[in-house]
Structure 1
């Protein structure tokens, strides 16, 4: 609820918490976004997001409404992106039930910029400054004809979050540089450290949260995953997929995983209860862990380099053609994703900028995170971001990724070997791709 004299409110429906993940920020058409009072009639702008996107939590809506006192922002959040995106696909052709601004997860951006592009505004038509974005992030939100459909919010450079109390109890180092050295440049070394942990711990915690999370971290360190540069489905022949599958199955077969289904209440409780000692940690995960672990987790978590740099997650803001307030919606989307707001979202929520300009701000470069033992996250994520490959994104990435994640979860919970689990996952994926 607003605390000022104006009768503006932020209304949040169905507040949700995280999927493949994530938070937001990106580009700017004005320095401060302010229009001043009385510039136009009172307008309500609606924003649709998934998970704990971070815009409201960081106070950005509140700030924008202070700068533009004729604007009220209403956000609707759906917990899981799969549910959110399915509803969006249903609504786009009819134009009914759409928000002025709709967030799009990176796994769905190819579809949004291609076959669904007609349903979204071209930010070029509104003279939005897109020059501050990372080139690869801007390219992901642009269609083949140069139409800018999505303004990038965050990116997901990865590290490893770990529980220092569990590491100490098992005789492993706790200093983040020494921890990083345990598995430097080698995901297999990360598994070996997990095996050492399992032999020595009495905490009852597993080494890692889930095979699916480990798979995502590994596969996203390869430029080619599910599609090749010609748009052909290649996941069955992909080196990245094969490597990630084997690493994840090594963890599963060694009983190193807590067998959690990612982004479910069960996973949330496991994070709070200390079910696992490590998890793959893109930038947006820091805020998620803090929210779920709460005060009880303060002083237990730290952050180290991942074995190999990669990107997991990151989102975009679009403006729908169905919006009745396109100009104002574009201004809001541009302001929310401006370098200044991206830097603020990082310092408040840990969402790493997709704006190259924002990445250079002192508050990003010098940022630390008190909850994670004052880890210099600005320095750590900036270093990781330098080595991120440009991922090839395809139209059915999410279908393939979810199919492989489900295959790993089945192997964890039902004991299927890696070959049988792979065969079943491929069968499920091929059936889904044929629909």
Structure 2
């Protein structure tokens, strides 16, 4: 989840065997077992995340504390993943101020495995190797170094769909049925054409989509190769996927289809309840975010349909334990439990974050969400997860995506010529990569 995750705010991890929910708490001392926080031996595990992982909201922390007397969990949260990552880098460099558990967005995982392996615990020392069969090979290997160290356990994945405001569609004279809409916007050209029709009759102050940055992100999420090729070479400047997404995004900006709202900004958050935009390309984890921002008043106004242009993936994350963590073993036991199939199912039902375990996917296949007009989210996102390509991940995926998004913001908010904005993006990427 930038996503907050992850994004969100990202290849599907498939599990085969359900894990038991009751894990034993260890309250010891030393580099592997952590240290006591008080004379009574209680341990407070600190968890530092970005965006909406859904653990607190789904009651999982409270459940874990009940199952493990003496363990307390304290979460800190940064809404914007870029801000989170910058702060994490500063703390990793200094070695202080790190939580027992740190979230890692999928666009950063290659950076962790290839450049920062010494900063994170090899989870194999606590038995993580036994969990390998729970995850798809591509997802497991993404968090594994060349010499076999496992640096994180996968959380959710980000299969993509289209969220939309059916009440605003109706007001503009557009169809509201999710099946009909999926047929009408089977392609991105069809989606933009419906956007033009919406603009012509839209309620005052309402645009077709929130930002062209979200359009770009979801479109590049439909491609196997985006910023790097399979050999690890940087190819974003000549990537067909990047060009297609860029061209569609600047077209949408030029035609005034966007509300010009930077994602994760306060105005963007407020727009969920004000009706400032009618559609939002949404990975599964976005559902919980929409609920949080739109509140009870949004129930029944939102719906979900199949994404234009085919399946894709945006976001999905990992939970990792820094080598500087105070309670390494306890932290591992917590992330093992949080990423178990039972807990993935609970988070999906509570927040919409799509599970990665096969057991969980089977359990939620028929799930509907009353908040989203009883949309069959289990089937919609399940189909997308099954069909999404296994993406090539590079060291600086997230940095490149952020700079392209910044350039698109220039186009839609400042009127910068697309050619100039693209040149600015390339300069910014070069600076970011060093």
Return the TM-score normalized by structure 1: 0.91
1:336 corresponding residue in structure 2: 338
RMSD: 2.2
Query: Which aligned pairs between 1:41-120 and structure 2 lie closer than 5 A?
Result: 41-120=41-120
1:22 aligns with 2:8: yes
Query: Which aligned pairs between 1:187-202 and structure 2 lie closer than 5 A?
Result: 187-202=188-203
2:208 corresponding residue in structure 1: 207
1:31 corresponding residue in structure 2: 20
Query: Which aligned pairs between 1:118-137 and structure 2 lie closer than 5 A?
Result: 118-128=118-128, 129-137=131-139
What whole-Å deviation, never above 9, does each CA across 1:37-85 have from its counterpart, x for those lacking one? Answer: 9999321111111122211111111000100002111111122111211
Q: How far apart, CA to CA, are the structure 2 residues paired with 1:263 and 1:19?
A: 11
Superposed displacement of residue 432, structure 1: 2.3
Is the contact made by 1:154 and 1:314 (CA closer than 8 Å) also made in structure 2?
yes
Q: How far apart, CA to CA, are the structure 1 residues paired with 2:144 and 2:49?
A: 20
Superposed displacement of residue 204, structure 1: 3.1
2:33 corresponding residue in structure 1: none
1:276 corresponding residue in structure 2: 277
Q: How far apart, CA to CA, are the structure 2 residues paired with 1:170 and 1:144?
A: 54
Is the contact made by 1:23 and 1:351 (CA closer than 8 Å) also made in structure 2?
no
Q: After the TM superposition, which of the residue ranges 36-45 and 260-269 deviates more from structure 2?
A: 36-45
Q: Tell me, what secondary structure is at the counterpart of 1:314?
A: strand
2:400 corresponding residue in structure 1: 400
Over 3 Å counting, the alpha-carbon distance change for 1:211 and 1:20 in structure 2 is farther
Q: How far apart, CA to CA, are the structure 1 residues paired with 2:349 and 2:142?
A: 25
Is the contact made by 1:37 and 1:68 (CA closer than 8 Å) also made in structure 2?
no
2:302 corresponding residue in structure 1: 301
Q: How far apart, CA to CA, are the structure 2 residues paired with 1:36 and 1:390?
A: 36
Is the contact made by 1:26 and 1:151 (CA closer than 8 Å) also made in structure 2?
no
2:315 to 306, 313, 316: 313
2:174 to 172, 175, 190: 172
1:326 corresponding residue in structure 2: 328
Higher-RCO chain (CA-CA 8 Å, sequence separation at least 6): 2
Q: Tell me, what secondary structure is at the counterpart of 2:94?
A: coil
Query: Which aligned pairs between 1:125-274 and structure 2 lie closer than 5 A?
Result: 125-128=125-128, 129-184=131-186, 186-274=187-275
Is the contact made by 2:121 and 2:151 (CA closer than 8 Å) also made in structure 1?
yes
Which consecutive unaligned segments of at least 5 residues does structure 1 have? Answer: 1-16
Is the contact made by 1:18 and 1:288 (CA closer than 8 Å) also made in structure 2?
no
Q: How far apart, CA to CA, are the structure 2 residues paired with 1:81 and 1:35?
A: 32
Superposed displacement of residue 36, structure 1: 7.0
Q: How far apart, CA to CA, are the structure 1 residues paired with 2:14 and 2:62?
A: 17
Over 3 Å counting, the alpha-carbon distance change for 1:183 and 1:226 in structure 2 is same
Q: Tell me, what secondary structure is at the counterpart of 2:208?
A: strand
Q: How far apart, CA to CA, are the structure 1 residues paired with 2:367 and 2:246?
A: 34
What whole-Å deviation, never above 9, does each CA across 1:194-248 have from its counterpart, x for those lacking one? Answer: 1111122244311110010000010110011111112121110001100000111
1:5 corresponding residue in structure 2: none
Is the contact made by 2:53 and 2:353 (CA closer than 8 Å) also made in structure 1?
no
Q: After the TM superposition, which of the residue ranges 114-123 and 333-342 deviates more from structure 2?
A: 114-123
Q: How far apart, CA to CA, are the structure 1 residues paired with 2:53 and 2:23?
A: 23
Superposed displacement of residue 431, structure 1: 2.4
